[in-house]
Chains A and B, each alone.
Chain A
Amino acid sequence: MAEPATTALSVQEELDRRLFYLKTLYDMSCELFGIMEVGRILKHFLLMTTGNFGVIEGFLVLVEPSSREIEHFASVGIAEDSKTLLKTHAADMLRIGQEHGLIMDADHFPKDVAFHGLFALLVPFQVDGTCAGALGIGRKLVGEPYSSEDEDLLLTLVNSLVIALKNARYAEALKKAYEEVSSLNRAKDKVINHLSHELKTPISLLKAALTLLDRKLGDYPRERWERTLLRAQKNVDRLSAMQEEVDDIMRGKDVTTYRMLNLLLDQCADQIALLAADEVGEDSIIERIRERIEELFGPKDQTPEKISLDRFVAERLEALIPLFSHRKVRIQSDFDRARPVIIPPDALKKMVNGLVRNAVENTPDGGMIDVTVKEVGEEIHLVVRDYGVGITKEHQRRIFEGFFPTQETDAYRSGHPFDFNAGGKGADLLRMKIFSERFNFRLQMDSERCRHIPGENDVCPGSVDQCAHCTNGNDCADSGGTVFKVVFPSSGVEKS
């Protein structure tokens, strides 16, 4: 009768053990996958694994295989001198373990190795091409050898560890790459800023020189020099426009500094004034500091004004339409009489010009563009909708990054403003985005790529007449297009 009772007891014990092992696996997955630092992952893993098997000593080592250098070492319950030995011989230990297989019993190590007897089992593992590792654990406190179930659990735990380490290493690599990109970005900003400032004067001088030349060459037959001079003027104008765009973009980055300094100055104005009056008898210092901040960081020529958007856009269209009279693009406009928006006129002008030009350059001849100004609740919406080629999903994500042209490849660009597929510098949209942050409006974009040219390298012929898929402008309008919406929130609109 005693035997069944013993069997029942051992079955119960085995069930308890397995339940405990399962719980450890569950805890391990919960614990490890929330951690992104390799050191913390190793520590938790060691505590859990050695706790699960009832072991005092354990260590984990990560090695870079080609250099044999240790990347990480973590241990628990191991004396300092033993740690030194393990670290010194980590690469050899790992090599022997890898040659042996999945799990290596310490008895299989050559007796003469320095680390002999420091652990009972070694589990080598590979994290990725540049990282291998090994887990070593001591003998069980209960004195039993590791069973095959123990070894299975150990391998499963190590697999979880490898996944957690892979994730952490990806996260570390991403973080490092992000820091590197940020640093390069700052360097790039500095260079662009510097170049933009340095270019301003020579471009102005060139412009003036070309005007002077035009006047001086008046005595010579025009047909001999006019085309060359016009080409030079056009290119200097392009350089000037680019310099101005870059200047606007880079200036946007100073706005935070400008606001912060002004806020600080407002907060401390009284104290500074008192101090200045006491120390140097100077009582106009606050105004001088404010002027200096304005000079260094203030938005230049960018004073917001109340502008009637419907009238402003109508005037802009009137001025722009002659510039693309060579194009067969129909403009439909619908302007509500809306409350004035508050924005610097120069910024609004650049934005409207940019949106219209972008729409025209993306619309083939025979196509159309809608420009509307509407009052929607408390907001004012300016919408420029083209029924052109549209933007692929991939490009939509990057369109506001700057210097990212949305149009076809360089090979097809004309380079002439307002031509179909003229191929701008791609900075217009970034400039608008920066304006939107600076002058408190929202810029939204929704685009559907023309279904007849779905790929980035598919080309629109530039005219509905030449399109193999459309018979008229309506067919073209149905095939795709882009909407840019500029939303002035109630805070940027004059109260009614």
Chain B
Amino acid sequence: MKKVNEVKIDLQGSVAVIDIHGDITSQSEIILRSSYERLDSEKIKGILLKFEKATYFNSEGLKVLILILADARKRAQKIAVTGLSEHFKKIFGMVGITKFAKIYDDEDQAIKDLESFAGEG
């Protein structure tokens, strides 16, 4: 059964941590897109998409992420992803999401890298 999405945004300086609960499908489009659009692209230069281990992504959900990642690239924002299961780490690589976003197991490390990227910017 599909879980309804819940999103929390935690701003840590120039890095935003978007904590996403629920499966990522076409129904996630509005909440993910609006959460991303809410961020001030002038200030926020690093974004961590934090998923749960049990999160399921269907191909529509992946496309929603790809479109957000493509926009982030245009705005010179760096994106990192954490919390993926082993299966979806492979799928993210297969569909090329890893070209836009680096996958981390360690959330702290991801934030640290994003902060250092934002600092460089």
Contacts and interface: CB of A to CB of B under 8 A. Distances in A.
Interface string A118-150: 000000000000000000000011110000000
Given A16-B87, A20-B91, A77-B67, A48 B59 contact: yes
Main SS class of interface, A: helix
B73 to A, nearest CB: 10
A47 B60 contact: yes
B67 A141 contact: no
Interface in B56-100: 58-64, 66-67, 70, 87, 90-91, 93-97, 99-100
A143 to B, nearest CB: 8
Given A17-B94, A44-B26, A54-B94, A142 B99 contact: yes
Main SS class of interface, B: helix
Contacts of B99: 141-142
Contact of A141 (B58, B64, B95): B95
A48 B27 CA distance: 12
B66 A56 contact: yes
Interface in B10-57: 26
B95 A56 contact: no
Give the interface size class of chain A: 20 to 34
A140 B96 contact: yes
A175 B59 CA distance: 32
B95 A54 contact: yes
Nearest to A54: B95
A50 interface: yes
Contacts of A44: 26, 60
A48 B63 contact: yes
B96 A51 contact: no
Contact of B60 (A16, A20, A48): A48
A27 interface: yes
Contacts of A48: 26, 58-60, 63
B95 A16 contact: no
B60 A76 contact: no
B96 A50 contact: no
Interface string A14-54: 00110010011001000100000000000010011111111
Contacts of B61: 51
B96 A27 contact: no
A13 interface: yes
Contacts of B64: 47, 51
Contacts of A16: 87, 90-91, 94
Interface of A: 13, 16-17, 20, 23-24, 27, 31, 44, 47-54, 56, 76-77, 140-143
